[in-house]
Amino acid sequence: ETSEKDREFQAKIDRGVRIEANDWMPEGYRKTLIRQISQHAHSEIVGQLPEGNWITRAPSLQRKAILLAKVQDEAGHGLYLYCAAETLGISRDEMTAQLLSGKAKYSSIFNYPTLTWADMGAVGWLVDGAAIMNQVPLQRCSYGPYSRAMIRVCKEESFHQRQGFDVMRQLCQGTEEQKAMAQDALNRWWWPSLMMFGPSDKDSVHSEQSMRWGIKQNTNDELRQKFVDQTVPQAEWLGLTVPDPELKWNEDKGGYDFGEPDWSEFFEVIKGNGPCNKDRLAARNKAWDDGAWYRDGLTAHAEKQKQQIAA
């Protein structure tokens, strides 16, 4: 049952007032923001791994420099988002422990392997394209620190998406083999990119409450539809075929009809049984362990500083 405070809070949300860290908020609002923002941050950090794999294998110095810049951007996105989550009362160490133990979710998309250079194109074009679709509305999220983090993230994501599309363009305008690589990457990344938007609305447990609290502006299916409508013409421009036999323009709806993602695959992946879940967690645990000496050094240095000030 809702209290007077809950009702006042909802009235603020309905008036479009931004909620700040020191404002009163229902425990459920705090909890779902910690859940979503920490998972978003984990996604950025784990998202560096599939692309990091190709930095040393990039076909040119220019492509290497661009990919390096993108992967570094993702680390920064993770930092903004962990900081936004900390304003809600959870510590960075707690969030890191949740990721490393396998308890926390991160975006399903990063549990797929990046097999060829064309994957760097497909990931930038489709994955960052989908991420932009989902992050632009988050700039209007009711929670101030999250919405402000999104403004900088969205600016950088558009560079990520353009550079990916440019890799696909270059391959599609190259040799037959290069175009076949681009088509193979589209075949493997199309459906997992649609799954990034979350389960269909009927299976989305959080959407209704998140929309009432102004955290979510659109439903999962709405954003998925927008993504398909925007991306299919780009695939056609590239001369590539979207791997969905049910894809068809629907004049009445002013959008494409398209097939259903394989939701059993989706739920398996988010349960931890995707192609790369174990590798991704192992890589993050190794990075944590390998960095222990550096953290210990920082802590020892801080301790010494404190003693000198106290003395």
| Residues that bind ligand 3HC in the complex, under the rule CB under 6 A | 35-36, 39-40, 43-44, 47, 74, 77, 105, 107-108, 127-128, 131, 134, 157, 195-199, 204-207, 210, 216, 220, 270
User: Which residue, 212 or 295, has its beta carbon nearer to ligand 3HC?
Assistant: 212
Task: Give whole-number Cα distances, 216 to 126, 206, 209, 271, in Å.
Answer: 21, 9, 9, 23
d(CA 203, CA 257): 20
| Longest Cα separation, the chain | 77
In whole angstroms, how close is the CB of 39 to ligand 3HC at the nearest point?
6
Q: Decide whether 181 or 270 has the Cβ nearer to ligand 3HC.
A: 270
In the complex with ligand 3HC, the residue whose CB is nearer, 122 or 179, is: 122
8 Å CB contact between 197 and 218: no
Min CB(285)–ligand 3HC separation in Å: 19
Q: What is the DSSP string of 207-218?
A: HHHHHHTTS-SS
CB of 176 to ligand 3HC, least distance (A): 30
Shortest distance in whole angstroms from residue 175 CB to ligand 3HC:
29
Q: Which is nearer to ligand 3HC, 121 or 198 (CB)?
A: 198
* Cβ atoms of 123 and 50 closer than 8 Å: yes
Select 89 or 239, whichever has its Cβ closest to ligand 3HC. 89
Output the smallest distance, CB 272 to ligand 3HC, in A: 11
Beta-ladder partners of 257: 248
- Helix (H), strand (E) counts: the chain: 14, 2
The answer to whether residues 10 and 26 touch, using CB atoms and an 8 Å cutoff, is no
